[in-house]
Structure 1
Amino acid sequence: MTVQQHSFSTRPDSKRIDACFARLQAEGRKGLIPYVTAGDPHPDVTVPLMHAMVEAGADIIELGIPFSDPVADGPVIELAHQRAVSQGVTLADVLVMVTEFRKKDNVTPVALMGYLNPVEIMGYDEFATRAAVAGVDALLTVDVPPEDADFLVEPMRKAGLEAIFLVSPNTADERITGITRVAGGYIYYVSIKGITGAGGLDTDAVSRRVAHVKSMTPLPVCVGFGIRDGESAAALSKTADAVIVGTALVQELASHEKPADAIAAVAAKVADMRTAMDR
């Protein structure tokens, strides 16, 4: 199947995510999207870490909403959720962090990623309004099927937020078409079956599948799960519009006692991936 030649155009009033992919395309580059759990390892670390990752080459930031039962995540990110939850970090705190980040950076898109429960507790309309004011650009809720997401997507759209959805290796074409109708921002392609951090990444097989998904949607297609280093990031970026890395960064963050060392180590890993992707 022939891959569509996407053109991510932008206008002066374009949303941050649209503008980001239009810029990347104009520069002939692919996006790098790091994920970290908000509040891990300490609430004071998150905003400086976000800025450090942008300086190291991140194009979009995915910020995890702490949750007590992150069933789709592997042990590394699950522990990050536990550390954040144990310090009382809530969705409201995450929005405060994004507000603080926006004081210095009003360009880099921020997508929240997590589970429905915290959003439901806040209230869907309340969340959408407060998230938009804070400077959030999108939300991905891993436990909300796109076929039944109107209750969440509609208030988000009214507030100008994008709803990001997952496509997996075994998602049928008919469902991909349906996801494309309700999704915004970008499609998150899960490169492997299983939880975050799982091994067994076959970059050739993923690239073929990504090419197929791209032929079915005008949205950027970004690949996550299983990307651990510059080599895997560079390999997948040849086909994908962006690569998403989480477990490797969260693991790096947890391996340093001093916050400054942790931030520097994560930034160095992001920079290494950025360099590999730009070669």
Structure 2
Amino acid sequence: MTLKILHNPFNAETYRAAQERGEALLIGYLVAGDPTAEESLEMIQASVQAGIDIIELGVPSPDPYVDGEVIKRAHKRALDAGAAASEGLLPLWRRIRRGVSSPIWAMGYKRELVEEALYRSLAEEKLIDALVLPDCSLEEQIRLQNELGPAGIDVVRFINSSMDEEAIRRTCDGATIIYAQSYSGTTGDPLARVQGLGKLCDRIRPHLPGGLIVAGFGLRTPDRVGSAVDSGFDGAVVGSVLVRCCENREKDYLYRLVAEMKLETARSDKELNR
């Protein structure tokens, strides 16, 4: 499959390169500035070298209410370390951009990214390749896509299995990247069951020809990453398990886990022919 509609050429180029290697994308979420600015930069760079194709970089928030406890603690650590808003965040973000050879997606909350206009600073300085805004409505995501698309920035939209066909169609209409949530609820739920990924992917795919469809939530092991890839998704998003490694400063384990997850993105012959 060839991507035709992505606004950001770096996103498209990264996926095209993965396709040529017979792989799906591994998208890794880490919080900017967690646990400190220097360690955050070190772990992001090393995680990319270990196998992450795209960094989903969390914007620290005092109220990350759709996230689970692991990521909430990471937001607090980053804020306590000085990664708040423009004063502490932008200088670090610029260093990350200079030191990372992969696309960067800014994941954050409406208050910090939109209402405080941080997204405009990130866009104007070409520090991001996509925006991920889980608490924005579809209408708000469309407005931002109309604003940022001409500047080469994709705005990710969300779908979950509880949505009916009409809601899926509306969400996909004009979208470039779809984030399929494997379950409803907060991130990192240890009791969440990940199932029906193939069916969910098959429901989305006809509505998004040429777009990028990635799966996330609950993909905390290499096997689950492999399951998402085998289900037909173009990429797997991994977050809480990586953030927990940052919390415990288990750097070697973090890089080994990333490498093992990346191995699971290799597509089978069946998937290559989808």
Aligned equivalents of 1:21 and 1:215: distance in 2? 19
AA aligned to 1:103 is R
- State the Cα distance separating 1:274 from its structure 2 match: 1.1
CA distance in 2, matches of 1:94, 1:16: 23
TM-score, normalised with respect to structure 2: 0.87
Give 1:14 shift: 5.9
Map of 1:259 onto structure 2: none
Match of 1:98 among 79, 93, 96: 93
Q: Which runs of 5+ in 1 are unaligned?
A: 1-5, 257-261
Whether 1:64 aligns to 2:27 is no
1:28 pairs with one of 22, 27, 39: 22
Contact 1:9–1:22 (Cα < 8 Å) also in 2: no
Partner SS state of residue 188, structure 2? coil
Q: What is the alpha-carbon distance in structure 2 between the residues aligned to residue 212 and residue 200 of structure 1? A: 21
The alpha-carbon distance between structure 1 residues 217 and 150, as it changes in their structure 2 partners (threshold 3 A), is closer
Indicate if the aligned counterparts of 1:169 and 1:190 stay in contact, CA closer than 8 A.
Answer: yes
The verdict on how the C-alpha distance between 1:206 and 1:177 changes in structure 2, with shifts beyond 3 A counting, is same
Aligned to 1:118: 112
**Identical-pair percentage:** 26
Aligned-residue CA RMSD (Å): 2.3
**Contact 2:8/2:129 (<8 A) preserved:** no
The SS at the match of 1:201 is: coil
Match of 2:149 among 157, 161, 170: 157
Structure 2 CA distance for aligned equivalents of residues 176 and 188 of structure 1: 12
Q: Who is 1:252 aligned against?
A: 245
**Which of 3, 8, 15 in structure 1 is aligned with 2:3?**
8
TM-score, length basis structure 1: 0.86
d(CA) in 1 for partners of 2:245 and 2:25? 21
Give how far 1:188 is off.
Answer: 0.6
Are 1:234 and 1:277, in contact at CA under 8 Å, matched by a contact in 2?
Answer: yes
Residue 252 of structure 2: aligned partner: 264
What is aligned with 1:172?
164
In the TM superposition, what whole-angstrom CA distance separates every residue of 1:24-57 from its partner, at most 9, and x where no partner exists? 2222211100101111111222222121111111
- Per-residue CA deviations over 1:45-100 (Å, capped at 9, x if unaligned) read 22221211111111101001111111111111111111112233124244433321
Counterparts of 2:247 and 2:174 in 1: how far apart (Å)? 36
1:130 is displaced (CA, Å) by 3.5
* Aligned mates of 2:98, 2:242 — CA distance in 1: 24
Q: Which moved more, 1:129-138 or 1:54-63?
A: 129-138
| One-letter identity of the residue aligned with 1:187 | I
- Cα 1:183–1:91 change in 2 (3 A) is farther
CA distance in 2 between counterparts of 1:15 and 1:95 reads 23
Write the distance in 1 (CA, Å) between the matches of 2:124 and 2:253.
31
Answer whether contact 1:66 1:81 (CA < 8 A) is retained: yes
For structure 2, which runs of at least 5 residues remain unmatched after alignment?
268-274
Distance in 2, matches of 1:145 and 1:270, equals 32
CA distance in 1, matches of 2:9, 2:227: 28
Which residue of the other structure, out of 122, 125, 138, is the alignment partner of 2:130?
A: 138
Select the residue among 226, 233, 246 that pairs with 1:240. 233
